[in-house]
Structure 1
Amino acid sequence: MARIKPQALLIQSKKKKAPTRVSLTTIITCNLLVILVVLSLYATYNHWYKRSSNKLDTELINSEHSNDTGERKKFDLPGYAVLETSKGSITVELHKDSSPEVVDKFLDLCQKGYFKGMRFHRVIKHFVIQGGDPHNLGAAEEWTLHRKSDGQLETSPKHEAFMLGTSKAKANAKGFEIFITTAPIPDLNDKLNVFGRVIKGEDVVQEIEEVDTDEQYQPKSIIEIINITLKQEP
């Protein structure tokens, strides 16, 4: 058997202990995998970040739109109504801020044509003219007739003439009565929900006030509301 020289053994030992070389292909593959993982994490983060941001922006826009719609709705509500009667036109300014619920109901009924053909069935000089259902009066009838029969016609600077209101006694009923005062009424707030005032056509109100009536203060001739037109400006 041939004898191996010490120098050859040393070289052979070094070759066995030397680390195995990593190929260039393996290095490139590993680097690509690391890059793909980083890009994937970045893409995921970017996706959720944008989604969260877009959701927040959408909520803010919806919130602003909702507020704008609410403000616009309130702003766009008609502020005036023109009552076309058989005696002429009466323009009223609606109190949208002080009587919003009553005004809303009045506007809704106007759009449904509720007041077309409504008669002024009670006319009391120096007191009120009243329109509504003459067969379903209730407390309103008692109030108007009692006030007139007792002759209690004191005036008060607090409550002017030509105010538009509806009976508090029927505020929750399906119907809707209209009162236009023709003189200041001391206890107006106790009896009526005032939701407007006449700004044009006071002479028409006075003309209606002067018509002939029977003992129950019902006009002997028909006086009715032909139509009501809603307007933004007087």
Structure 2
Amino acid sequence: MHKKLGIMILCGVMAVSLLGCGSKNNEDNNITPTPSITQEESSNGDSIEEPTLTKEAKKLYQFKEAKKGDTIAEINVKDFGTIKIKLFAKDAPKAVENFITHAKEGYYDGVTFHRIIDDFMIQGGDPLGTGFGGESIYGEPFEDEFSNDLYPFRGALCMANSGENTNGSQFFIVQADAKQVNLLRDLAKEYYDLSFIDYVQKAYGVVLSSSELDRFLTYGGTPWLTRKHTVFGQVLEGFDVLDAIAKTEKADDQGTPKTPVVIETITISEVK
């Protein structure tokens, strides 16, 4: 079955930017992942524990439960439900301040997730709904903020951009699970005869250690976006909502939802 997938990750389908989709050139160098098993149940109906919520995962900084003083964002999506996210103000202060201020001022109210790609991510935050709009609270694009403790794992809230230090208002939530990362590793070996570490470095210019890559294989995510997009939050609850949004019917191959997926409100609170 894998050989029928073709080579589909490198340039088009997996690119995340403020400009929406990237160039369609070099499509023969891409890998298309197969659909994932949702977190609710496997093919035989058994319950599957969300990997980022396991006791082992919670030993990592990014997946720890929210504690007193932490800031929480709840993204309320019309007809889908709520995604609860812990924000990392100490690690990405400008990105978090930007997101919180926009949320409190109602900037995101009524805005859509304009680009949705199942087994990859959902992207929103553009008032125009085109992927070409939006601006930061600072009146100009702001710089990237990278932390050695935060990665684009499954459930990561990240800034979308159109290159280095071009952050505005758009963001995305990583939906890709461990199955997709393991499939990418297997296809890298099958089609290119490369180790996963070498593949990610050669294809995307991202250098990861074996331990970093092992975490992506365990928890899911988008290893090729490491240190390319600011990670400033992590989903705590609502993975079922995230997955349901990702599977919404698309109007085209660029990930435009056939029916608009609307953010009703984003509420901000502090853990007491």
What does residue 82 of structure 1 align with?
Answer: 74
Question: Secondary structure of 2:96's match?
Answer: helix
For residues 150-208 of structure 1, the C-alpha deviation after alignment (integer angstroms, 9 at most, x for no partner) is xxxxxxxx642010011243786684012000111112234311100100101000000
CA contact (8 A) 2:120 2:222 kept: yes
Taking structure 1 as reference, are residues 174 and 181 closer, same or farther at Cα in structure 2, changes over 3 Å only?
A: closer
1-structure distance, mates of 2:243, 2:172: 13
Alignment of 1:142-181 (within 5 A): 159-169=152-162, 175-181=168-174
Taking structure 1 as the reference length, the TM-score comes to 0.54
Q: Which structure's CA Rg is the greater one?
A: 1
Aligned mate of 2:248, from 211, 217, 228? 211
1-structure distance, mates of 2:248, 2:158: 21
1-structure distance, mates of 2:168, 2:89: 20
Taking structure 1 as reference, are residues 198 and 129 closer, same or farther at Cα in structure 2, changes over 3 Å only?
A: same
What does residue 186 of structure 1 align with?
Answer: 223
Aligned mate of 1:137, from 132, 137, 145? 132
2-structure distance, mates of 1:119, 1:84: 11
Taking structure 2 as the reference length, the TM-score comes to 0.47
Taking structure 1 as reference, are residues 218 and 80 closer, same or farther at Cα in structure 2, changes over 3 Å only?
A: same
2-structure distance, mates of 1:171, 1:110: 24
Taking structure 1 as reference, are residues 88 and 230 closer, same or farther at Cα in structure 2, changes over 3 Å only?
A: same
Task: Specify the code of the residue in structure 2 equivalent to 1:137.
Answer: F
1-structure distance, mates of 2:230, 2:155: 14
2-structure distance, mates of 1:120, 1:170: 20
Taking structure 1 as reference, are residues 93 and 220 closer, same or farther at Cα in structure 2, changes over 3 Å only?
A: same
- Across the aligned residues of Structure 1 and Structure 2, the Cα RMSD in angstroms comes to 2.5
Query: What stretches of structure 1 of length at least 5 have no aligned partner?
Result: 1-75, 139-157
Taking structure 1 as reference, are residues 160 and 89 closer, same or farther at Cα in structure 2, changes over 3 Å only?
A: same
CA contact (8 A) 2:153 2:223 kept: no
- Is 1:222 aligned to residue 217 of structure 2? no
Query: What stretches of structure 2 of length at least 5 have no aligned partner?
Result: 1-67, 134-150, 177-220
Task: Specify the code of the residue in structure 1 equivalent to 2:130.
Answer: H
The Cα shift of 1:108 comes to 1.1
Count of aligned pairs between the two proteins? 140
- Is 1:125 aligned to residue 162 of structure 2? no
Question: Secondary structure of 2:226's match?
Answer: helix
2-structure distance, mates of 1:91, 1:136: 24
Task: Name whichever structure is richer in helix by fraction.
Answer: 1
